[in-house]
Each structure stands twice: as structure tokens, then as C-alpha cells.
Amino acid sequence: MAAEARIAVIGGSGLYRFLDATETLALSTPHGDPSGPITIAAVGGEGVAFLPRHGTQHTIPPHAINYRANLFALHSLGVQRVLAPAAVGSLRPQMAPGHVVICDQFIDRTWGRVSTFYDGPVVAHVSVADPYCEELRPLAVVAGVAAGFTVHERGTVLVTQGPRFGTRAEARFHRDIGADVLNMTQYPEVALARELGMCYVNLSLVTDYDAGIDAAPGVAPVSQEAVLRVFGENVERLRAALVRLIETIPQQRACRCGERGAQPMRPA
């Protein structure tokens, strides 16, 4: 396989195409097929891989995504850095629709998802105390501001199972345990990237206020139509932020994401 890419973008809801592709790859992996063909585009002379997380026509719901195949396929191309834009619902009034949150932590509330490359007999216990790349996050903040977004430099994303949206009681509970925004796809994606020693940064575009905000009873609960509308209104700025981020990523990694990748324990 001749194609190589050092950087990848995994597109979320509303972002099914990134840039004009110079090459399209239909890959298969030991873990099955990824969500769709991987396209390669050039950004400043750099080969950048793009994979639509939900498929090119948004046919794969969050709980049915083959996260292992997606990450394995990108890794097989030589990808070291994964940029992961996603739509999120806000639990905090100050994180308003149209803002971008550069998450630094996650809380997993999913179930039944295949979440590791190490099902046995080879075992590995990977540390995700700091799951998002500490080198890429500040660069993502600068890129988001340059694209015209109001950017929140950190935040905790709670990952729900989906595909349904949450109840008001769940929203109160999620706020109480420290979550700032909600998403359905960050886990196990970010953890699988860490197992492979890849850097991962999330640019969360706030599209809604989830089930509403208790302090603002006039705020309507989220709808699928509202999510896609707000994402569509901001998708070009999001593309601009991603391009700016790619252009500022240094050739050599100065983070510890590679060191913190999985260390397999083989059976005696």
C-alpha cells in the first residue's frame, strides 16, 4: 500500500467530506471494515487522511460504529495524529451553540461497545488519565480562535450510548458528576487511539443545550434537526480551523502519547 498519511481527520455528524481528495482507499482490517473509504488530501504538502465516522451518507449510528476498524485502518497508513471534530450538546450555559470546546477529559457512560484491541490472550492495560494530546490541544485552541469561534480551552465530555438523546433528569445527573458537554462517539475512539500510541484531539462544536438548562426554562430540548442545522451553519469555519491546525502541527511529536500507548503482556 503506497498511500501514507501522518495526520487524520475523523469527521462527525455533518462533516462527511473534508477536502478535495487526491486518492481514495477502500481498506479492510483484521477487525472488519472501517466506516467508509479513506480519502487522502494534501494540506501544505502534507498528506492528510479523512474518514467519515458515520459513513459517507450517515448510515451508521454511534453504537454500531466499528471504532477498532477505523483506528486500525488509519494507523496502518502511518497516522500519528488524529483530529476528531464532533457535535456535542452543552450542559453549561456559558458553552453556547456555535462555540467550540477543546475537551481534556471524558466520562464513559456507554455499554456493550468493543473498546480494546486486547481481548486476550495478549493483554494490555493502557493509561488514559490524560486522554487528549497535551501538545495538540493548545494548537487546536489557537486554530479555533483564528477561524472565528468562541473557544473553551478545556472541558469534560460525557459519552452516552445513544442513539437517543437524554432526559432532563439525566442532564441534571451529568452536570452533577462534572460533565460539561455530551457526545455519543468519543468513547472508545479516543482510548483506542491511545492503545495504538496515536495523538488524539477533539474539537467539539456545541450544537444544542441537550435536554435544556434548568436556569433557562425557555431553552428547548435538543432535536436532530437542530443539531444538523447548527453544524451546517458552522461547518466551513470548522474546516478552516482544521486546516489551520494541520498547518501548525510540528513534524516531530513532543508529547508522550506514543510512550503511553499499550504495552502488551503476553502469556507465559
Instruction: Give a yes or no: residue 13 inside a domain.
Output: yes
pTM, two decimal places: 0.92
Residue 33 is a catalytic residue: no
- Average pLDDT score over the chain: 90
What backbone torsions phi and psi does residue 107 show, to the nearest 5 degrees? -125, 125
Any catalytic annotation for residue 214?
no
Measured torsion, CA atoms of residues 1, 133, 48, 208, in degrees rounded to the nearest 10: 120
Q: At what angle are helices 224-248 and 136-146 packed, to 10 degrees?
A: 110
Residue 147's nearest CA partner among 13, 74, 241, 48 is 241
Per-residue pLDDT at 235: 86
Of 28-42, 43-57, 149-163, 245-259, which range is least confident? 43-57
Return the C-alpha cell found at 45: 504538502
Domain CATH for 224: 3.40.50.1580
For 13, which DSSP code? T
Does residue 1 fall inside a structural domain? Answer: no
Q: Give me the domain span that covers residue 186.
A: 7-248
Q: Residue 160, Cβ neighbours under 10 Å: how many?
A: 25
Please state, as a whole number, how many other Cβ atoms lie within 10 Å of the Cβ of residue 92.
17
Alpha-carbon distance of 25 to 248, in angstroms, equals 26
Catalytic residue among 104, 108, 180, 210: 210
Q: What is the pLDDT of residues 193-235, one digit of tens each?
A: 999 999 999 999 999 988 766 655 666 676 777 777 887 888 8
**Closest to 85 measured CA to CA, from 177, 166, 200:** 200
63-71: average pLDDT: 97
Assigned domain for 267 exists: no
- Indicate whether 264 belongs to any domain: no
What residues does 9 pair with on adjacent strands?
50, 83
Indicate which residue of 108, 180, 208, 214 is catalytic.
208
Q: With respect to residue 263, please indicate whether it lies within any of the assigned structural domains.
A: no
Whether pLDDT at 24 is above 90? no
| Residue 220 covered by a domain | yes
More confident of the two residues 22 and 162: 162
Q: Is residue 265 part of a domain?
A: no
pLDDT at 1 over 50: no
